[in-house]
Amino acid sequence: MGAAAIPLSIGSTLMSAAGAGLSAFGTSQADKYQAAEQEQAAQYGELRATQTNAALTRNLNQTLGNIDAVRAAARTDPTSPTGAAVRNTVEATATSDKNIQVDSIMAQAEQDQANAAYLRSASSTALLSGTIGAFGDLLKGFSGMPGLSSGS
């Protein structure tokens, strides 16, 4: 190997190691950004679930109030089993629908939280693997240099 080849070999080795490190850093930053987006989506989901719960509860109360008003206007017996059954059925159905909607929104928010946690972990793993890769590139490059390898 000529005298000019050694500096070129060192430069190539260093550039390869730097490239591995920068690639890992870029991957890590992308993962962190996506984790932040998932975290924000989870927060919006939780807010939406709270708002949906409040709106559906308010609608249920209005509906039950309307049932009570119609029954009162019709001068039906407030203790009538038929009237109570209608009111209870409406309340149970609306409560079930509300719970399904809110639970679905919360499940998505929890999934967004889990995705964010995974992406934060992937970011750390990318940095670690990039560091190991860069160190490996350095060892590989320097081991092949005359005077530095064990075979010389």
Q: What is the mean pLDDT of residues 7-24?
A: 78
> 2 or 74: whose pLDDT is higher?
74
Report the chain's C-alpha Rg in angstroms: 33
Q: Confirm whether pTM is higher than 0.75.
A: no
Is the predicted pLDDT of residue 148 greater than 60, yes or no? no
Max CA pair span of the chain: 109
The two structure tokens encoding residue 66:
């309307």
Per-residue pLDDT reduced to its tens digit, 42-71: 999 999 999 999 999 999 999 999 999 999
- d(C-alpha 69, C-alpha 73), whole Å: 6
Q: How far apart are CA 113 and CA 121, in angstroms?
A: 13
